[in-house]
Amino acid sequence: MGCGTSVTESQAKKSEKAIKAAILIQRWYRCAMARLEMRRRYALNIFQSIEYAEEQAQLQLSDFFTFMLDHFTQLNETDTDSVSHFFDGISDFNTTSSDLVLLEYEKMIEVPHSYRGPRLSFPLTAEDTAALLHAFKYHQQLHARYVLQLLHETRRVLRQMPNITHLSTSYSKEITICGDLHGKLDDLLLIFYKNGVPSEKNPYLFNGDFVDRGKNSMEILIILFAFLLVYPNDLHLNRGNHEDHLINLRYGFTKEVMKKYRYHGQKILHLLEDVFSWLPLATIIDSKVLILHGGISDTTDLDLLNLFSRNKMKSVLKPPKPHTEKKSSMNRTGLVEQHSSILKQMAKSPATSGYRGPHTNDRSDSEESTRRLHGGTRSDLPPQMHYLESSARKLPELTAKEWKQVVDILWSDPKTQKGCTSNKYRGAGCYFGPDVTSRLLKKYNLKMLIRSHECKQEGYEVIHGGKVITIFSASNYYEEGSNRGAYIKLNPDLIPRFVQYQVSKHTRKETLNQRVSVVESSALKSLREKIYTHKLELTETFKQYDPNDTGYISVGEWALAMESVLHLDLPWRTLRSRLVQLGSDESVDYLSCFDDLEIERPLKEVQPALVETFCRYRNDLEIIFNIIDKDHSGLISIEEFRQTWRFFSSHLNINIDDEAINKLAHAIDFNKDGSIDFNEFLEAFHVVHKFEKRKDQ
């Protein structure tokens, strides 16, 4: 008996030790996973903060476009039609029959025998969609003629659709709902592989933001529009905030189209702007589930959204003018007068009104014949305005109330707190709380709101007590491994089932820690570059907290300075160890956040302040220069460069010496032919990491 008792006690002690060891291992594992999760979350937070800051800048730039257009129109009141010619080539076909338009495209755009991509004939069939999927999987490109024909037919179908589409699950078992794709073709192909292609038995709804950021936005549009034409009752589309030609200028889609379809790119873009304006705004399933891209506000009116002419909203970034606005009120300030003076010079300048550059004769015969077919000669409008003319076309007048309704449903985000507040981080729409959600659902006898618009780490998120679902279908949105994608399967019981996935070409063999480290490193790199473009302003703010010029300030002061300049709403105290060096007393060596970074100076003539300004506003300047470069050759005149920069700097209230701009303009005209390759010029102004640069060398 005694021996047996001894064995039992020994086993008990061993078991106790094993349990304690297991608890310690489990505790260590949980702590390690919590640290990884924290790193992954703040990396995602950094990416999102920078993304929203860029959207704010885009909205501010749209104000610049609006001001530019309004004032040029005022200065040229004798030629009231001068801003209506840009889209004549597209509107000429609006009143003609569909068959005639398709025939005209066949006549004016020849498909060479050497073309090896898919050949389409209309009306499309399921075999055509299969051919497109196969071609794009192997990186083939659809010919411009078929793209234009496809877009024209898509517009014809979309125009017949209501603003709010009503669907029912009673005709099929489940409806698949996809969120943002953002040009990521691999995600769309993976969805079709896992879930099947759209068909009468497999309906889909894509909830906006098909384009921008990714490299294959055009292919995604072609696939979706082709399925829409084959299955108009089973493939459904909602408009997103990126289905907007002004947004596309900044986030890559415009450049993608011009790169892939150089000679016919402008025609494709013009037609796409019209197609985007006809996309439905929302969808309601079984009269219970509301699906729209962004969100709602406390003033969202589904009845109004269902009735107004949605094609009036060419761009949500150009609000309607108040009816009470008088022309004389536009010249209230000295800044406005300065802008107007510059515009007059631009209108009179020979360089801006007639400059074509050495690339003029590169136009193909087919492109020239197309120009004649679509309305003859161009107007005398300066090239700075040609892309903006679309905003001034004679369309039915859009009211401020209608504009706000659309902005709110395309740009808003949910929040956990009650109420409805301005979305200051995106610069448009609002933040809506659970009380706002409940009121709208109750008002329209709805059960649930499904929206997209926000990247979520797991591809989806459920908030507001299960009443609001966010679905995001672009995996690896910011960086390889940054997030999963997901889609929803909605059955007749209206119980959502989430399917997650992640396209993993390079990270399959990496550990979780390695994948998180890659995402974290990429996020911190982007943040450091953002910080460095504000070096002068940050240094000045830091020194206000350091009157004795010690080079050190407290952590609290450093965090306040960072947020006051960058406005990114980031946890700066948490990030301090990753961004700056700390003293023995935990004070911050504030200049260390600029270590290992520099902005290359491609020309000695460029002053340091001007270098930082060009680097900070490089994306904005690229958009403006692309507007000036109406044939997308990459070349603008010296006078266009100088006058546009003067106008833009006055808009931002940046004090840059005119002589410095003049010297710079002549210095970057390398071959002295009076033109500037602005893409090459802007590419030179970017933040570089000294260590990486040395390693590359």
Q: Are strands 687-689 and 597-599 parallel, antiparallel or unpaired?
A: antiparallel
For 299, other C-beta atoms within 10 Å of its C-beta total 13
499 SS3 class: strand
Main-chain dihedrals φ then ψ at residue 65, nearest 5 degrees? -60, -45
Indicate which residues carry an active-site annotation: 242
Answer yes or no: are the C-beta atoms of 337 and 631 closer than 8 Å.
no
Dihedral angle, C-alpha 404, 409, 411, 414, nearest 10 °: 120
Residue found under tokens 């504030």: 590
Nearest to 599 by CA among 612, 618, 580, 589: 612
Q: Are strands 430-432 and 164-167 parallel, antiparallel or unpaired?
A: unpaired
Nearest to 69 by CA among 251, 330, 332, 312: 330
60 SS3 class: helix
602 by Cβ neighbours in 10 Å (0-12 / 13-18 / 19+) ranks as middle
Nearest to 636 by CA among 263, 270, 382: 382
**CB-based contacts of 246: which residues, under 8 Å, 6+ apart?**
58, 62, 65, 315, 317, 318
Nearest to 392 by CA among 86, 647, 90: 86
Helices 2-75/618-628 angle, 10° precision: 40
- How crowded is the C-beta side of 494, counted as CA atoms within 13 Å? 18
CA distance 290 to 89: 37
CA distance 282 to 280: 6
